[in-house]
Amino acid sequence: MYTLDELKEFFKNDLFAMKLLGAEIIEAKDDYAKCSFVIQDDHRNAKGTAMGGAIYTLADFTFAVATNQHKAYYTVTTTSSISYMRPGIEGKLYAESVKLREGKTICFYEVNVYNDKKEIVAKASFSGTHVLRNN
């Protein structure tokens, strides 16, 4: 398993999530991850709330951090779905990714996105495929 510092170093190359969204890895261990970002003006849709794509990016990034902690393989998203339950208006959004089931080549995770008040903003499901590393 990679350490939190190793994961942060690896994911700094994920420029869309880290640079454009401003995602931060808060915690990562044992196939679990918690990440966040601060809603900025550039993340807002025409109505002034966080764009669904920004919220989805946080969920997808958090899934990636949770499932890419293994040195033997990396994981890519195979399928995903997200349900938006309330708008992200201001402040920070947080996401937590939890493993539901792990197979030899496929995994299933749930990601919950919530606001500073701990109100659920979105719930996402991800499946991923493990690919052996060539190093």
Q: What residue segments make up the domains of the chain, in order of their start? A: 4-132
C-beta separation of 110 from 97 below 8 A: yes
Average pLDDT over residues 117-128: 98
CA–CA separation, 21 and 42 (whole Å): 9
State the pLDDT at residue 36.
Answer: 98
Spell out the residues 6+ positions from residue 55 whose beta carbon is closer than 8 angstroms to its own. Answer: 82, 84, 88, 93, 113, 121, 122
Residue 125 has pLDDT above 70, yes or no: yes
State the pLDDT at residue 135.
Answer: 60
CA–CA separation, 65 and 61 (whole Å): 6
C-beta separation of 8 from 65 below 8 A: no
Average pLDDT over residues 110-120: 98
Q: For 22-56, what is each residue's pLDDT tens digit?
A: 999 999 999 999 999 999 999 999 999 999 999 99
CA–CA separation, 65 and 47 (whole Å): 30
Mean pLDDT, rounded, of the chain: 96
pLDDT grade, residue 1 (50/70/90)? confident
State the pLDDT at residue 126.
Answer: 98
**Which ranges of 12-132 does DSSP label H, i.e. alpha helix?**
15, 52-67
Tokens 């701990």 locate to 118
Q: For 56-79, what is each residue's pLDDT tens digit?
A: 999 999 999 999 999 899 999 999
In the CATH scheme, what architecture does the domain 4-132 have?
A: Roll (3.10)
